[in-house]
Structure 1
Amino acid sequence: MTLAIAHTDPAALIARCDSTGVRTARDEPEYENGAVLPVGPWRPLTVQLAAELRPTEQSDSTLVELVKLPDGPPPATLATLADQLGDPDAVHLGQATSPARALTTTPNYQDGRRIGLHIDNWDRLRCQAKHTGRRRLCFNLGPGTRYLLLGDLDIRAVCRGLHSDTEIHYPHTDELRAYTALGLPLRVFRLRLDPGEGYIAPTELLPHDGSTEDQPQPSTAAFWLGHWPPGVLASLI
Structure 2
Amino acid sequence: MSLKLSFTSRAALQARAQVTGVRAVRGDVRFEDGAVIPSGPWRPLDDGLADRLRPDQSITDNVLVEVVKAEDIGLDHLSGPGIHHLGRAVSAAKSPTTTPNYQDGQLLGLHLDNWDKLDYASKHTGRRRLCINLGPGTRYILLGDADIQTICQTVREDYAACYPHTDDLRAYITLGHPLRCLRIRLDPGEGYIAPTEFLPHDGSTEGQDESAAAFWLGRWARGAMGSLV
Q: Does 1:235 align with 2:227?
A: yes
Aligned to 1:10: 10
Distance 2:172 2:72 in 1: 42
- Are the aligned partners of 1:62 and 1:154 in contact in 2 as well (CA < 8 Å)? no
Distance 1:134 1:40 in 2: 30
- Are the aligned partners of 1:141 and 1:219 in contact in 2 as well (CA < 8 Å)? yes
> Which residues of 2 match residues 113-128 of structure 1 at below 5 A?
113-128=106-121
Post-superposition offset of 1:71: 4.0
Q: Does 1:222 align with 2:214?
A: yes
Distance 1:211 1:59 in 2: 27
Aligned to 2:42: 42
Q: Does 1:153 align with 2:149?
A: no
> Which residues of 2 match residues 63-142 of structure 1 at below 5 A?
63-71=64-72, 82-83=78-79, 87-142=80-135
Post-superposition offset of 1:81: 6.4
- Are the aligned partners of 2:77 and 2:220 in contact in 1 as well (CA < 8 Å)? no
Report the secondary structure of 2:160's partner residue.
coil
> Which residues of 2 match residues 21-36 of structure 1 at below 5 A?
21-36=21-36
State the aligned residue count: 228
RMSD over aligned CA atoms reads 1.5
Instruction: List runs of 5+ in structure 1 lacking aligned partners.
Output: none
Compute the TM-score of the two structures, normalised by the length of structure 2. Answer: 0.96
Distance 2:58 2:175 in 1: 28
- Are the aligned partners of 1:2 and 1:59 in contact in 2 as well (CA < 8 Å)? no
Which amino acid in structure 2 is aligned with residue 186 of structure 1? L
Per-residue CA deviations over 1:155-212 (Å, capped at 9, x if unaligned) read 0000011123422110000000000001101110000000000010000000000000
Which amino acid in structure 2 is aligned with residue 212 of structure 1? T
Distance 1:51 1:223 in 2: 28
- Are the aligned partners of 1:70 and 1:233 in contact in 2 as well (CA < 8 Å)? no
Post-superposition offset of 1:227: 1.3
Distance 1:124 1:62 in 2: 16
> Which residues of 2 match residues 169-208 of structure 1 at below 5 A?
169-208=162-201
Q: Percent identity?
A: 58
Which amino acid in structure 1 is aligned with residue 3 of structure 2? L
